[in-house]
């Protein structure tokens, strides 16, 4: 059920049924923040996490990254490490970090 309720807003966004104002993200500011805060665990390139159980972020969808960070921030997605990390981020940080990691080349792809 948790999964379902999370998917509905995404589906509505995808269908263009919900209008969300578009804010410009700053990839460069995202990179600076990522190196300061996130690289220690997710790797400098977002693709070499320090532990296999830590997710790769490089090349992930921007919307997915942004949603994950906002959910950690609000505890809608519960994780002690990321919850504490995300609560230090401003709304702009979240936007910039998501844009930065989405811009990196990554091995993530959809199998067809």
Which residues of this protein are in contact with ligand HEC, per CB under 6 A? Answer: 37-38, 40-42, 54-55, 57, 65, 68-69, 79, 81-82, 85, 89, 97
- The answer to whether 20 touches 68, Cβ cutoff 8 Å, is no
Tokens 């263009």 — which residue?
A: 16
**Shortest Cβ 44–ligand HEC spacing (Å):** 12
- The answer to whether 106 touches 46, Cβ cutoff 8 Å, is yes
Please, which residue, 12 or 76, has the CB nearer to ligand HEC? 76
**Shortest Cβ 105–ligand HEC spacing (Å):** 17
């Amino acid at each position: 059920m948790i999964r379902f309720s999370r998917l509905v807003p995404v589906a509505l966004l995808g269908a263009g049924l919900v209008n969300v104002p578009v804010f410009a993200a700053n990839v460069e500011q995202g990179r600076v923040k990522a190196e300061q805060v996130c690289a220690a665990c997710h790797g400098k390139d977002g693709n070499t996490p320090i532990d296999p159980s830590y997710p790769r972020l490089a090349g992930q969808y921007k919307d997915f990254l942004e949603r994950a960070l906002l959910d950690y921030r609000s505890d809608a997605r519960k994780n002690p490490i990321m919850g504490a990390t995300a609560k230090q981020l401003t709304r702009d940080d979240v936007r910039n970090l998501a844009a930065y990691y989405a811009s990196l080349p990554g091995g993530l792809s959809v199998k067809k």
